[in-house]
Structure 1
Amino acid sequence: MADTTNRLAGIAYLSVDGQTYMLAGDLTYSPSKVTRETIVGQDRVHGYSEKPHPGSISGTIRDAGGLSVAAFNAMTNVTVTCELANGKTVVGRNMWTADAQEVKTAEGTFEVKWEGFSVEEA
């Protein structure tokens, strides 16, 4: 077996409620809990405002023959798990799809984004 202790990026796996999907690329995640906006006055920077930010996981999925793209749009309470090349596992629980999915037929892919209350790294 190859030594992977120095691997930082590359291979990734994505599953939803235990079902693995073909990940074509562009896997991203956000474990951020807040969004901050700087508040600027006419005289100086006054501080910032802070609002809650949903956790998110997104990626480009391959549209395999037996796959139902409509089923992704119906996802409202799913667990999304990502296994990354660096050994990290990213999990979002009670997530829902945030955007409508559109298939790009030239590549047989579509983008999907899940959002939820939090995304955790382990």
Structure 2
Amino acid sequence: MANDTNRLAGTAYLSVDGTTYMVAGAFEYSPAKVTRETLTGMDGVHGYSEKPKAGHISATLRDSGGLSVASINAMTNVTVVAELANGKTIVGRNMWTVEDQTAKAEDATIEVKWEGLSVTEQ
């Protein structure tokens, strides 16, 4: 198949420590290192505050028969790699899962979010 350089979206392949997971949808990531908030007073805009922010990778995974929700919840210090339709590879190192991971029987999905100190785009 020819390489389609115009394709920008539509597919995502995800692995954690080398194990591949089915991505049902809602893939997103943020390599941001800081979050900023504008500081205003009664007399105008004063500037902004800046705080450190963990990078994140999240996706809705398909709950296949061999998938263990408990093992996802136990993930700490993992490497998450995603390959996107636009040619980017997203790498999160030393990541951990946050929030609750709940399996939904209606459509066999699990929403998962990893956070960590390093998320990069390659």
TM (norm. structure 2) is 0.98
| Equivalent residue number for residue 60 of structure 1 | 60
- Give structure 2 stretches of 5+ with no counterpart: none
> Which AA in structure 1 matches 2:81?
T
Q: Say what the alpha-carbon RMSD is for the aligned residues.
A: 0.6
| Matching residue of 2:13 | 13
How many angstroms does 1:118 deviate by?
Answer: 1.7
Which residue of structure 1 aligns with residue 105 of structure 2?
A: 105
2-side partners of 1:40 and 1:79: how far apart? 40
Name the SS for the 2:71 alignment partner: helix
Q: Could you tell me which runs of 5 or more consecutive residues in structure 1 were left unpaired when the two chains were aligned.
A: none
Letter in 1 for 2:99: D
| Alpha-carbon distance between aligned partners in 2 of 1:3 and 1:56, rounded to the nearest angstrom | 29
Identity of aligned residues (%): 70
The Cα shift of 1:3 comes to 3.2
Matched residue, 1:91: 91
